[in-house]
Amino acid sequence: MLSQNIIHVTDEDFADKVLNADGPVLVDFWAEWCGPCRMIAPALDELAEEFDGQITIAKMDVDSSPKTPQTFSVRGIPTLMVFQGGNVQGTKVGGATKGDLKNFIAQHV
């Protein structure tokens, strides 16, 4: 079950929901078959609540929306990118602990 605080983005609405967002947006590029992606999902759910109002957390399925990951040179998943003002502010690739994810997000809010 996904957190109420996590949004889903696609190639079609990425610019609207991420690039043109008012505040920072963390995008989790993931896929259903990716073990490390599934492992960090609960931590992202919790962090979406902890950082509610400070950063938006979005998930993008790289299988159903392949254009955007290609545009931002996503090579492996999970790849987490923080966008602000339409630009990438930070990137983290691979699995991580909740503490690692929290520190990564905290650097960008």
Task: Give me the catalytic one of 6, 9, 37, 82.
Answer: 37
Task: Give me the catalytic one of 6, 9, 18, 34.
Answer: 34
CB 55 within 8 A of CB 26: yes
Residue 37 annotated as catalytic:
yes
CA 7 – CA 44 distance, rounded (Å): 12
Residue 40 annotated as catalytic:
no
The single-letter code of the amino acid at 22 is D
CA 26 – CA 83 distance, rounded (Å): 6
- Give kind and range of the element (H or E) at residue 43: helix 35-50
By annotation, the residues acting in catalysis are 34, 37
